Chain A
Amino acid sequence: MAVNAAGQAASRPRSQDGPDFKPELIQLLTPEGERAEHPDYPLELTAEEIKALYRDLVLVRRIDFEAIALQRQGELGIWASLLGQEAAQVGSGRALQPRDMAFPTYREHGVAWCRGLDPAKLLELFRGVSHGGWDPKAHNIHLYTIVIGAQTLHATGYAMGIQRDGALGEDGEAVIAYFGDGATSQGDVNEAFIWASVNNAPIVFFCQNNQWAISEPLDRQTRIPLYLRAQGFGFPGLRVDGNDVFACLAVTRKALQAAREGQGPTLIEAYTYRMGAHTTTDDPTRYRLSAELESWKLKDPIERVKQYLIRSGLAKEDFFAEISAEADVIGDRVRKACLQMPDRDPLTMFDHIYQEPSPLLAEERAQLASYLSSFAGHADSLAKEGTR
């Protein structure tokens, strides 16, 4: 039998979707917009709640769209688009209680929206004005983490703190850690699974499997469906239709509640697709087929909610027009916030290194100050930059 250098004998299924295994995909709303039921995840939503989810989905897509445009126009250094992942982020984001804590990657703009973080804060990071700069406590969403997987350990430690504070129980607190399919290969993520497991920590590991880690498809990271990995670590795992906002909401709610009540961690694999480039500097035509993209277009997370609202008579054209108009207003607001964002005084780069500045830092700061003032018109140029 032929064996290639990767050691793959022809008879061994290599991909996670081998012939003898069909992973269960939890779904409560089909791509056609039909409501499905699942015995473990009963979900009752009022018309208002469904409309609110629809609004979230549309608005975060609009913010994302605006940010991409701003990057193209040179106003942002880079942008990591959430296109296609709106339902995974809004569904899980709306499952959180205000007291819960979220640990995002760099792509969780939809989660940030649900937590109430001003989108301008995200632009600040991608424009290069700050490294984030928001107070994680203000909306219980931690800073974006760019180093792949690192935040899963922080989230786990935070959850261990909740245990020690005795903040568990029906009205207790829980933590959600976001990460991608690629991140599951990192040591940090696997260590987080172990820590969470042996400590029975109140945490939900929310993996958005968008099928790609930049140019590397899922099969570079795994041979089994990612959610099955949880078993080996000793806690439950499940796969949800990541483009189904109802299902994402239901499974995350349940997992968070289990965590709160002392039942330990859950791994949720939200099965979705990165519809755009990895970031604005990436060119996906170099490594993936457009046919794949086309097939995922049919599973669009927003369109199915719209279809459901129409079919069930819960919303009419005026509602959709109203949301679309609101999206434009928010798009405008985001654009203005970006264009009017002042640059920081270069001397502030010396702030917050330590709680108290060291003599060396004070000296370096003074050096830069005198160096800058040696250039005539420095103040003018700063003022100009501020309005650029």
Chain B
Amino acid sequence: MTTLTISRALNEGLRKAMENDPKVLIMGEDVGKLGGVFRVTDGLAKDFGEDRVIDTPLAESGIVGTAIGLALRGYRPICEIQFDGFVYPAFDQIVSQLAKMAYRSLGKVKLPVVVRIPFGGGIGAVEHHSESPEALFAHTPGLRVVACGDPQDAYAMIQQAVNCDDPVIFFEPKRRYWDKSEVDIAGGLAAAPPIDAARTLVTGDDVTVLCYGPMVRTCIESAAAAAGEDTSVEVIDLRSLSPLDLTTIFTSVRKTGRCVIVHEAPVTGGLGAEIAARITQECFYSLEAPVLRVGGYSIPYPPSRMEEHYLPDLDRVLDAVDRSLSY
């Protein structure tokens, strides 16, 4: 076991992936000498060369579009989008091209492209640096959408994403980049759960709390606080946002009868809506309360001095848990 930050764990995972397969490339803005603005690719250009860790021209559509071309030629590109709010220039390439090429070719083409996106707020940034656009991609068939929430998952999931023959949109919880915990590097990927499996982080009987990315830590802390008041909260890290691990979700909700879904993204049209609808349909007779959602308001991400009032936090999660229990 090694203690690593999420940023460092991603770095180690990327390094492994590059060592294992010479076809793996990294491309993006400032990923070379600088090592990325969050240092996730720190040292990789030096060790693997600037032909494999490519400082691209400043154009996201170009980054993803050429990654598709490289993948057609047998490479496995990992694109870094510098911040969530800057993925939109690449949206067409991701949604109309990356997501659909396997389908259009009746499976003859595969595009093992990973698009890494630091996402979420809470870092006091200016606009376009704090967004949570995961639902846009989860709404796009053909893309795998995942989010890591801790260093161990960061380390394993980035490698699994690179190994995956489907395109993967890989969300990284920006404000947790410097969170540290133990990572099993020696154990390799064998012990890691599959990339499309949810993980139960805290077991409990009263309420199921579903979360991912930056909200994982918030929800674990909420569960600890709730335990102090004799409420037993089960916390599940979804990890895979598309496809969803519905089996794990349904099993837990059938046990607790109550569910709260937490994400930073706006509640309106968010991933929580999809999950709530599925739960209502499949677990209707087990439910003791309506599925509740905690998330951003139906507004653009606010200026940073207001973000603490926008972002879900421990209190808002506990408030939802209480409301769920009050039915």
> Which residues of A are at the interface with B, using a C-beta cutoff of 8 A?
4-6, 77-78, 106, 125-131, 146-148, 182-183, 185-188, 213-216, 220-221, 281-282, 286-287, 343-344, 346, 349-350, 353, 358, 360-361, 364, 368, 371-372
How many whole Å from A282's CB to the nearest CB in chain B? 8
* Residues in chain A near residue B88, CB distance under 8 A: 147
Judged by a CB distance under 8 angstroms, whether B33 is at the interface is yes
Q: Is the CB of A353 within 8 A of B59?
A: no
**A221-B56 Cα distance, complex, nearest whole Å:** 8
**A188-B60 Cα distance, complex, nearest whole Å:** 11
User: Known interface pairs A215-B30, A286-B33. Does A78 touch B299 (Cβ–Cβ under 8 Å)?
Assistant: no
User: Known interface pairs A128-B303, A128-B305, A349-B306. Does A214 touch B297 (Cβ–Cβ under 8 Å)?
Assistant: no
State which of A125, A343, A349 has its C-beta within 8 Å of the C-beta of B310.
Answer: A349
Q: Is the CB of B126 within 8 A of A346?
A: no
* Residues in chain B near residue A131, CB distance under 8 A: 126-127, 303
How many whole Å from A75's CB to the nearest CB in chain B? 11
How many whole Å from A149's CB to the nearest CB in chain B? 8
Q: Is the CB of B58 within 8 A of A372?
A: no
Most chain A beta-carbon contacts within 10 A, residue among B29, B126, B268, B299? B126
Q: Is the CB of A182 within 8 A of B126?
A: no
* Residues in chain B near residue A5, CB distance under 8 A: 51
Q: Is the CB of B303 within 8 A of A130?
A: yes
State which of B56, B57, B126, B268 has its C-beta within 8 Å of the C-beta of A125.
Answer: B126
**A30-B229 Cα distance, complex, nearest whole Å:** 74
Q: Is the CB of A186 within 8 A of B58?
A: yes
**A346-B124 Cα distance, complex, nearest whole Å:** 15
Identify 11 new A-B residue pairs, CB closer than 8 A, beyond the known A78-B125, A125-B126, A344-B305. Answer: A77-B304, A128-B126, A131-B126, A186-B58, A188-B89, A216-B32, A221-B57, A343-B305, A349-B299, A361-B298, A372-B309
Question: In the complex, which residue of chain B has the Cβ closest to the Cβ of A353?
Answer: B299
Question: In the complex, which residue of chain A has the Cβ closest to the Cβ of B34?
Answer: A215
State which of B55, B300, B319 has its C-beta within 8 Å of the C-beta of A215.
Answer: B55
Q: Is the CB of A4 within 8 A of B126?
A: no
Q: Is the CB of B303 within 8 A of A129?
A: yes
* Residues in chain A near residue B124, CB distance under 8 A: 77, 128
Q: Is the CB of B33 within 8 A of A78?
A: no
Within 8 A of A (CB), among B279-296: none
What is the count of residue pairs linking A and B with beta-carbon distances less than 8 angstroms?
114
Q: Is the CB of A287 within 8 A of B127?
A: no
Q: Is the CB of A185 within 8 A of B126?
A: no
**A302-B189 Cα distance, complex, nearest whole Å:** 58
User: Known interface pairs A127-B305, A361-B299. Does A6 touch B59 (Cβ–Cβ under 8 Å)?
Assistant: no
Over the window 52-66 of chain B, the binary record of Cβ atoms lying under 8 Å from chain A Cβ atoms (1 yes, 0 no) is 000111110110000
* Residues in chain A near residue B204, CB distance under 8 A: none
State which of B34, B37, B128, B297 has its C-beta within 8 Å of the C-beta of A147.
Answer: B128
How many whole Å from B120's CB to the nearest CB in chain A? 16
**A129-B124 Cα distance, complex, nearest whole Å:** 11
Judged by a CB distance under 8 angstroms, whether B250 is at the interface is no
Q: Is the CB of A185 within 8 A of B310?
A: no
Q: Is the CB of A185 within 8 A of B309?
A: no
**A37-B29 Cα distance, complex, nearest whole Å:** 40
Judged by a CB distance under 8 angstroms, whether B243 is at the interface is no
Question: In the complex, which residue of chain B has the Cβ closest to the Cβ of A221?
Answer: B57
**A242-B51 Cα distance, complex, nearest whole Å:** 33
Most chain A beta-carbon contacts within 10 A, residue among B61, B89, B303, B319? B303
* Residues in chain B near residue A186, CB distance under 8 A: 58-59, 89
How many whole Å from B201's CB to the nearest CB in chain A? 26
Q: Is the CB of B34 within 8 A of A287?
A: yes
User: Known interface pairs A286-B33, A360-B268. Does A220 touch B57 (Cβ–Cβ under 8 Å)?
Assistant: yes
Judged by a CB distance under 8 angstroms, whether B302 is at the interface is yes
* Residues in chain B near residue A128, CB distance under 8 A: 124, 126, 303-307
* Residues in chain B near residue A127, CB distance under 8 A: 305
